[in-house]
């Protein structure tokens, strides 16, 4: 997130509350993702500092987004343009996704392993982490050739080092003390 996080938070929270009320979290996720991509385009970013009026900028932005935005998404764009906040759209989308994950009680868990994990290994990790975190778990698996064997699991501040490298380091620390 950038320094626009503070500016983006009220918009993300408002969009989230509206999406929950209308049972449209997936639709809003798609709209915000698309609008964020448009906002990151170099030509569009140049317009943020141009002499265009808020209404003209909003209409141009809505036109570029086309059918990707429904009426409510267009209203959000118009309001953000009126308040000169369109450049915060990528942060709005990012914060929106964090709110959705918290709402759905989903924890993103990063798993680094020395080799590709089998489906059985992944399901065991998911079961273990769901029990430990008391949440649904979404795994992001990566192969890390620097690990000798085993896995390194991270979720927020929680780190579970089941790698051989980690075990060797702990053994070395124990022998040195």
Q: What is the pLDDT along the chain (177 residues), one digit of tens a residue?
A: 456 778 788 888 888 888 888 888 889 889 889 888 888 888 877 777 777 777 888 888 788 888 888 888 888 888 888 888 888 888 989 888 888 888 877 778 888 888 888 889 888 988 888 888 888 888 888 888 777 788 888 887 788 888 777 777 788 888 887
Tell me the C-alpha distance between 157 and 54, whole Å: 42
Q: Is the dihedral of CA 131, 136, 139, 140 positive or negative?
A: negative
Greatest pairwise CA separation for the chain in angstroms? 70
Pairing of strands 136-143, 106-113: parallel
CA distances from 103 to 68, 116, 143 (A): 24, 31, 30
Domain at 106-176, CATH homologous superfamily: ATP synthase, E subunit, C-terminal (3.30.2320.30)
Q: Domain map of the chain by residue range? A: 5-102, 106-176
Tally Cβ neighbours within 10 Å of residue 92.
29
pLDDT, position 2 = 53
What's domain 5-102's architecture? Orthogonal Bundle (1.10)
């Amino acid at each position: 997130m950038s320094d626009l996080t503070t500016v983006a938070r009220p918009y993300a929270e408002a969009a989230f509350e509206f999406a929950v009320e209308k049972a449209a979290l997936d639709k809003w996720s798609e709209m915000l993702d698309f609008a964020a991509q448009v906002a990151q385009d170099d030509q569009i970013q140049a317009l943020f500092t141009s002499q265009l009026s808020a209404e003209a900028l909003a209409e141009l932005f809505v036109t570029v987004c086309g059918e990707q935005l429904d009426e409510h998404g267009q209203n959000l764009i118009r309001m953000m343009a009126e308040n000169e906040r369109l450049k915060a759209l990528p942060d709005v989308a990012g914060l929106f996704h964090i709110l959705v994950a918290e709402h759905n009680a989903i924890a993103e868990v990063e798993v680094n392993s020395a080799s590709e994990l089998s489906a059985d290994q992944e399901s065991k990790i998911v079961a273990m982490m769901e029990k430990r975190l008391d949440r649904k778990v979404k795994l992001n698996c990566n192969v890390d050739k620097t690990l000798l064997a085993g896995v390194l699991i991270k979720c927020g501040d929680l780190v579970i080092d089941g790698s051989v490298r980690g075990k060797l380091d702990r053994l070395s620390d124990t022998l040195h003390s």
